[in-house]
Amino acid sequence: MIKHSESDIAVELQGQTPGLLSAMGPGIMMAAAAIGGSHLVASTQAGALFGWQLAGLIVLVNLFKYPFFQFGARYTAATGESLLAGYARLGKGWLFLFLVLNAFAGTVNIAALIGLTAALLTWFIPGVPVPLLIWPVVIVSLLIVLRGHYSVVDRVSRWIVALLAVVTVVATILALVKGAVAPPEFVSPNPWTLTSLGFLVALMGWMPAPLEVSAMNSVWSLGKKKERGSLTVRESLFDMNVGYVVTAVLALFFLGLGALVMHGNGAELATSGAAFTRQLVNAYASAIGPWSVWLVIIAAFCCIYSTVLTCIDGYNRVTYSAWRNLGDNSRELRSSGSMQSPALILVMTGLSLSVVLLFPGTLLAMLEFAMIAAFLTTPFIGWMNLKVIRNEPVPVPHRPGFWLTLWAGAGLIFLFGFAALFAVWHWLM
């Protein structure tokens, strides 16, 4: 038996930690993509409508979705190819279905997020109409993504998510110290009814993120591997776990903001995303103090704009990789799935811009529709992720073990069950 002194172990750990830290990036970008509509809008609305009652559901859906996000990171690190290539191995029909769903989701999601970002900019540039502010949001975002590609978006996302985490935690703690605005006699409505099912499904659809983000994490990981020269399974899972945990925890903080400063205050929730964010800011200021306004505004703006950046980058990388894998599944292509097409970025962003300009005032409705659609597709993408991680070319040591497979199976039962319940409920309405 070889013995190691404490100094030897310290040297070894010092050598490992920088490697793990330098591998971080794709998971943080995943968090930046997730912390947008699902947190600022859906999580905060959940708290505003039902108080803390949906905290358990948020924890539960995060637990049940976790294996499928992990499989995406594990597959790429273990095989050196993108998750899209894994879908192609299942059959081109599955890959084509994913391509269509991803392109549609990307267009709608980016459109809604661009509109919300422009609406939040009115706090910084008052008096300028939202349609005019949409243009600088789009132009600056395209410059960041097109000129910097992965490396710039990676660095920007790290700082934005870090700032968002600090601001959100501080804001929620301050609200908790101040106390909830709901009077003691206020009775919270019951969320566990069929009439609330649509809201619950929408909340879970983007909690912590749409499952197609697992494919984004895959192509971002390939970009990180190319940048570093290598990316081990351990490093990739560490990065993914950090991003996932940050995302899940922040969802509870946003729920707390809604529960503490909006739940039971007697005001009816706004129906548009921009109006809702203003309502959140005003309610927070009335409960905590006028000085807190900019704290909440900065948190909201960082939340949405970080999602705009990462979604423009991520949806286009995934769409381009899926399209190329449909026509060519060579080893060279499978290991270079992080590439993107500037032309495709311009086309998809242009479509999103058209949607937000042609349908003003429907941004919250678009987000809700996208969230519900994301939940209904989640079980199928989850099944695909489980299928690809258990077969070739994943080496046997990197395939999920018994307990993780059982965890994923329970997740599929939960997701398919809720999707079936929603489909029956929607059909009977």
Q: Which residue has the tokens 């920007």?
A: 156
Farthest CA pair distance, the chain: 74
Q: Could you give the CA distance from residue 303 to residue 117 in angstroms, rounded to a whole number?
A: 9
- 54 has a pLDDT exceeding 70: yes
- Euclidean distance between CA atoms 107 and 119, whole angstroms: 19
**Single-letter amino acid, residue 358:** L
* Rounded CA separation 6/224 (Å): 33
- Residue with the larger pLDDT of the pair 92 and 18: 92
Residue 330 is predicted with a pLDDT of 56
Distances (CA, A) of 329 to 95, 209, 326, 341: 12, 28, 7, 18
Task: Indicate the pTM of the whole model.
Answer: 0.84
How deeply is 226 buried, as exposed, middle or buried, from its count of CB atoms within 10 A (0-12, 13-18, 19+)? middle
Residue 297 CB partners (closer than 8 Å, separation 6+) = 120, 123, 124, 281
Question: How many whole angstroms separate alpha carbon 38 and alpha carbon 203?
Answer: 7
Q: What pLDDT band is residue 4 in, cutting at 50, 70 and 90?
A: very low
Q: What is the CA radius of gyration of the chain?
A: 21
Rounded-to-integer distance, Cα 364 and Cα 272, Å: 5
The sign of the dihedral angle between the CA atoms of 329, 330, 335, 336 is negative
**Contact yes or no for 97/322 (Cβ under 8 A):** no
pLDDT at residue 280 greater than cutoff 80: no
148 has pLDDT over 70: no
Q: Which residue has the tokens 């549609």?
A: 104
pLDDT at 72 over 50: yes
Most confident of 13-27, 302-316, 329-343, 354-368: 302-316
Question: Which CATH number does 28-428 carry?
Answer: 1.20.1740.10
Which of 134-143, 234-243, 288-297 shows the lowest mean pLDDT across its residues? 288-297
pLDDT of residue 6: 34
Per DSSP, the residues of 52-76 read: TTTHHHHHHHHHHHHHHHHHHHHHH
Contacts of 263 (CB under 8 A, 6+ apart): 47, 48, 49, 50, 51, 180, 181, 182, 188
Residue 429 confidence class, pLDDT cut points 50, 70, 90: low
Condensed to tens digits (0 to 9), the pLDDT of residues 35-50 reads 766 777 888 889 999 9
The DSSP annotation for 137-166 comes to: HHHHHHHHHHHHHHHHHHHHHHHHHHHHHH
In 3D, which of 44, 50, 37, 98 has the Cα closest to residue 303? 37
More confident position, 30 or 308: 308
pLDDT value of position 402: 93
DSSP secondary structure letter of residue 182: S
Model confidence at 3: pLDDT above 50? no
DSSP states along 222-251: HHHHHHHS---HHHHHHHHHHHHHHHHHHH
Domains of the chain, residue spans: 28-428
Q: How far apart are CA 255 and CA 245, in angstroms?
A: 16
Nearest residue to 137 (alpha-carbon basis) of 104, 112, 162: 112
The whole-angstrom separation of Cα 34 and Cα 161 is: 10
What sign does the CA torsion over 388, 394, 396, 397 have? Answer: negative
- Given a contact cutoff of 8 angstroms between Cβ atoms, the answer to whether 187 and 231 are in contact is no
Residue 89: Cβ within 10 Å count: 18
